[in-house]
Amino acid sequence: MNDKKVIDFTTGNPTKHILNFYWPLLLTSMLQQLYNFVDVMIVGKGLGDDAFASVGNMSSLFFLIVGFSFGLANGFGVPIAQSFGAKDIKQLRHRIAGTVQLAIILAIILTTFSTTALPFLLRLMKTDPSLMENCLKYGYIVFGGISTSICYNVSAATLRALGDSKTPLRAIIFSSFVNLGLDSFFIFVLHMGVESAAIATVVSQVLSSIICLRRLSQIEMIKLEKSDFKNDHKVYISLFSNGLPMAFMNSITAIGCMVVQHYINDLGTDYTTAYSACSKYLNLFMCPASTAGNAMSAYTSQNYGAKEYDRILKGLKVCLTISLLTYLTLGSVMTFCPRFLAKLLIQGETPIRLVCDYLPICGMTIIAVDCLFVIRSAVQGMGHPVPPMWSGVLEMALRIGVITIFIKTLGFRAAAFAEVAAWTGALIVNVIAFGKILLPLVSSFRLSRRIKAF
């Protein structure tokens, strides 16, 4: 095994390259979502709706912390992919070495912060007292092992930047089976509580990290030496300038979700249970489009580094087509089959009814976030993470504004309209940014080609 699995997006057929990269990446993302989905389903069926609500209540908080590290990892992947696209191997190694150093520091900071602040954050979200004990049990274990999540996210982002989407797939396949096996064994055989789901999650992340790190060590062109770890402020600046805005974007979005969760929790545990189920389905059904966004990011980064601006537009058409097909299929399922979906996860009639109010609204409008994933990733892939960050601020403002104004009149449905408003606002910002950044480059690129032709 050497570098055969690395994909160079700067040459060849864009559609073929993107689809070859997309399918393993989609399977990876779907498996992650499915094992999270089945994970909470096992908790719900094995331990009841309150345990399900406790784990679900952690979702926005988990996104706040882990989403920050995920944003940094994906942001670090942008300059790595640009170096690879430009065929600058020396710079590529320096940037990967810098990523390793920053990831270690990040793991220490986030582990300390998340485990220390957990009780305060749960109280801030108005977590029901009946759920607090289980939330703490689950949260301390997951956040205590957050370094394993960071390790996987960074190593997988680096592999994707080099065009390898198959290794993360193998890692997730293996770790998913381990996770679900441990979940079932702990809950149905040993009769453990919600802490068992957290232990299974951390163990599976350790295994997926090992698989990705092993693959990285086998790629000859990025075998790191001591000289690659030199303290170069330019390397750190290039990594942070892409990583921090993406990390803050995720965390800002998570804060908006936490405020929505705050209002939902205030309505009672039935509403918390329903919102947890709706969030799981949203994450699952957005997965194909968000994966198209990840593919677009890697594709755009390499071509932007190689100054192949025309190819970025071709890639955009492919990824937006994927998003449209996703909307027509999964959006229809959310719109027309909400009761069936609700019964797969929860048992109480009131939470099921609430899910039936929420999912059709999001199902009819999910095209907005499907397109947002692709266009925002293209902007980030071109090394412009600030507009997406500001779109995250707008998302937060719209979520908070809509839920605050309409929760008393629309009830639980206000949470669905808050999502729709956030998606639409962020999409508009990123469409404008994409046009302003890329279209002048494409025009200049085409003009220079015409001049050379003469």
Q: What is the pLDDT of residues 388-405, one digit of tens each?
A: 999 999 999 999 999 999
270: which residues sit within 8 A by CB, 6+ positions away? 348, 350, 351, 354
391: which residues sit within 8 A by CB, 6+ positions away? 249, 376, 425, 426, 429, 430, 433
Is the CB of residue 258 less than 8 Å from the CB of residue 123? no
Rg (CA), the chain: 22
Q: What are phi and psi of 382, to 5 degrees?
A: -85, 5
Which pLDDT score, from 0 to 100, does residue 404 have? 96
Is the CB of residue 75 less than 8 Å from the CB of residue 380? yes
The whole-model pTM stands at: 0.76
Low-confidence ranges of the chain (pLDDT < 50): 1-2
Which pLDDT score, from 0 to 100, does residue 1 have? 38
The full set of domain ranges for the chain reads 14-453
Is the CB of residue 35 less than 8 Å from the CB of residue 205? no
Block residue for tokens 């303290």 = 231
Which pLDDT score, from 0 to 100, does residue 275 have? 92
**How far apart, in whole angstroms, are the C-alpha atoms of residue 407 and residue 190?**
42
End-to-end CA distance of the chain: 45
In this structure, the dihedral spanned by the alpha carbons of residues 34, 39, 40 and 41, taken in order and rounded to 10 degrees, is 80
312: which residues sit within 8 A by CB, 6+ positions away? 299, 300, 303, 304, 378, 382, 438, 442
**How far apart, in whole angstroms, are the C-alpha atoms of residue 424 and residue 115?**
34
